[in-house]
Amino acid sequence: MLPDRSCLTPAQENKVLEKIEDIDSDSELPFYVAIIGKINVCRGNSHYNNPPILNFGFWYAAKYLGKKFAADHHGGKCNAISLVLQREGKSRPWPTKLRYTHIMRASSQQMRIIKGWPSFACDNRLRVGDLCLFKLMENEEQLTMTVYIIRREKC
């Protein structure tokens, strides 16, 4: 699944399909594919004032993250839950927060990774044009996603 109103080039689509085939997952859950843009990456020292963020598309978030969000939220005032990101082949986890937001001017909803995404983006040297494939891990006590990165040069 892709973000709302996004599409891949034929070369990107081929690389994504190759990567998914290499992963050989038994899960029925789809991968979420994020096309990394300017708002998703670290920009020198400006990430302190304007930190990178990542939004999940509404349809993916509603269908695959919504139940977990509701179960962990418990109706409190805080609108964020824990989400652990793990890189393919790396042992280090990146703890983040997943926040549900309602955008008044667009009358839409989204889920955004906050508090931890800047560290993930910088540590993994994400650049504009890279692709991130997010795989929701099943049977995990804590909401966890494995992230597979396809560098822009490979597409």
CATH code of the domain in which 68 resides: 2.40.330.10
53 assigned to some structural domain: yes
Quick one: pLDDT at residue 48?
58
Q: Which phi and psi angles does 55 have, rounded to 5°?
A: -105, 140
Total number of domains constituting the chain: 1
Segments forming the whole domain that contains residue 33: 10-154
Instruction: For residue 2, give every residue at least 6 positions away whose Cβ sits within 8 Å of its Cβ, in sequence order, or none.
Output: 8, 32, 33, 35, 57
The answer to the question of residue 16 being in a domain is yes
pLDDT tens digits in sequence order for the chain, 155 residues long: 776 667 888 999 999 999 999 887 777 888 999 999 999 998 766 555 678 989 888 788 878 887 666 555 555 545 788 899 999 888 899 999 988 775 555 445 678 888 899 999 999 999 999 999 999 988 777 889 999 999 999 87
Query: Who contacts 74 (Cβ-Cβ below 8 Å, separation ≥6)?
Result: none
Task: Tell me, yes or no, whether 1 lies in a domain.
Answer: no
Query: Residue 2 falls within a domain, yes or no?
Result: no
What are the helix (H) ranges across the chain?
Answer: 10-23, 58-60, 66-73, 117-123
Per-residue confidence (pLDDT) for residue 59, from 0 to 100: 81
Tell whether 30 is covered by a domain: yes
